Amino acid sequence: MSESTSLSLAAKAAALDAADELAPLRDRFTLDDTVYLDGNSLGALPRGVPARVEDVVRREWGELRIRSWTESGWWTAPERIGDRIAPLVGAAPGQIVVGDSTSVNVFKALVGAVRMAQEPLPAPGVRDEILVDATTFPTDGYIAESAARMTGCALRPVAPADVPRAVGPRTAAVLLNHVDYRTGRMHDLPALTAAVHAAGAYTVWDLCHSAGALPVGLDAHGVDLAVGCTYKFLNGGPGSPAYLYVRRDLQSRFDSPLPGWNSHTEPFGMRPDYEAAPGAVRGRVGTPDILSMLALEAALDVWDDVTIDAVRAKSLALTDFFLECVAAYVPEGRVEPVTPAAHAERGSQVALRCPDAGEVMARLIGKGVIGDYRAPDTLRFGFTPLYVGYAETERAARALADEV
């Protein structure tokens, strides 16, 4: 890399940072001078969370104790926090419930989708197939295989692009990732949802790598069910609870395979027979994980007065700039971008194929540039527009060039 090129890109970064309307949001997080490009695995800590967690522990639990279920709003937290997530994924209130893990919610959503597809009971051979994203995060595949066994369905892995040709009259449900966790490729949610619906099947979308990074439009595109984690771009903290979206007109038909007491229409009636509560509440199972749930609620405060469209615009600008810097700094042929160049196909990360990716990432982390590695040969850099700037993006590309 020439000194003039480095100076030019550094100057460009400074100009972009000066014009960035989201730059002040960085002060809402606890950060240091490292370049943190791993928010697609674990988001940074919002500054307001520690004080809120201390209050929950010392006052709500320590002093109010059992009274906090009502006086502090613990009991209604899953729906209340779901309504705060809703605008970030394009959903109206009353359709998202927070709780459990992503894996558990995938299971609930997928089995629930198959049950809806199979009612009333079909003739033999009808709606007995589940399609699953062949490139999915492994746990989604494991859950889909178990759901298929439970519902008597065949499981067929397909590439997302092949779904319109693969879906058919025997398909009950299709489980897809909005953004591929390895490559950062964003799949066409509106078109794929429409194709699944045209075949009479139901969609289940995994939003783990898109919620909080780009517009999703669940309501606008008629998505049936969706799940997602909250510890990546939503910055909810390690192991923070996931969420389940059930479209409003499907809620009365949603038959969860995990009918816990929290989703009962009379949870304190202690009746031996199960009767599902109305609305999104029927997505609940057991007692909410209050400490992590209320930490998540506090973390969502960073989204006050922030639009997802502004976040998406900066995400694309950041990833464009990173790719520009990598092309300028890194020796030709040393790394290969696998994230699509087209904005319509790109999430909020850049993945680079590199033969010694694990060793390179270890050295980068030692130099204060935090990304991650996915076997066998992929470097991943996640760009969280709420706190990542352009100067540190340029710094990361320079460090990468030094290490390869």
Active site residues: 137, 206, 231-232, 380
Between the CA of residue 36 and those of 317, 384, 393, what are the distances in Å? 17, 9, 9
| Residue in the block written with tokens 């527009």 | 385
Q: Is 69 exposed, middle or buried (0-12, 13-18, 19+ CB in 10 A)?
A: middle
Single out the residue of 183, 191, 223 nearest to residue 207, CA to CA: 223
| C-alpha to C-alpha distance for 301 and 31, rounded to whole angstroms | 17
Does residue 45 contact residue 59 with C-beta atoms inside 8 Å?
A: no
What tokens appear for 261 in the block?
A: 């007491």
Does residue 214 contact residue 312 with C-beta atoms inside 8 Å?
A: yes
Single out the residue of 154, 217, 230, 156 nearest to residue 191, CA to CA: 217
The Cα diameter of the chain in Å comes to 75
